[in-house]
Amino acid sequence: MNKHKFTYEKSGVNIAAADKFVRFISKISNKNNKNKKFQNIGGFGSISNIPGNLKKPKIVASTDGVGTKVEIANILNKYDTIGIDLVAMCVNDLIVQGAKPILFLDYISINKINLKKLKSILKGIVKGCKLSGCELVGGETAEMPDTYEKGKFDIAGFSVGLVDQKKILHTKKIKKNDLVLAIPSNGIHSNGYSLVRYVLNKKKINIKKNKFLKKELLKPTKIYVKEILNLTKYNLINGCANITGGGLADNIKRVIPEKLTANINLSSIKTKKIFKWLKKNKITDKEMLKTFNCGVGFCIIIKSKNLKKIKKFFTKEFEPYVIGKIISGKNKIKLNEKINWS
Q: Smallest Cα–Cα separation from 311: which of 301, 323, 319, 299?
A: 319
pLDDT value at residue 23:
65
Helix or strand (DSSP H, E) at 26: helix 15-32
Encode burial over 117-132: b for 16+ CB neighbours within 10 A, e otherwise.
Answer: bbebbbbbbbbbbebb
Q: DSSP readout, 285-303?
A: HHHHHHHS-TTEEEEEEE-
Q: What CATH architecture is 171-336?
A: Alpha-Beta Complex (3.90)
pLDDT value at residue 139:
86
- Return the bridge partners of 333, or none: 262
Q: Where are the domains of the chain?
A: 15-43+54-166, 171-336
For residue 265, how many other CB atoms are within 10 A of its CB?
16
pLDDT value at residue 38:
47
CATH T-level fold of 15-43+54-166? 60s Ribosomal Protein L30; Chain: A; (3.30.1330)
Q: How far apart are CA 110 and CA 148, in angstroms?
A: 7
SS3 for 314-331 is CCHHHCCEEEEEEEECCC
pLDDT value at residue 55:
87
- Whole-model pTM: value is 0.89
Q: DSSP readout, 69-86?
A: HHHHHHHHT--SSHHHHH
pLDDT along the chain (342 residues), means of 10: 56 58 60 54 67 87 97 97 98 97 95 93 96 92 90 96 93 96 98 97 97 97 98 96 96 96 98 97 96 98 97 96 97 95 90
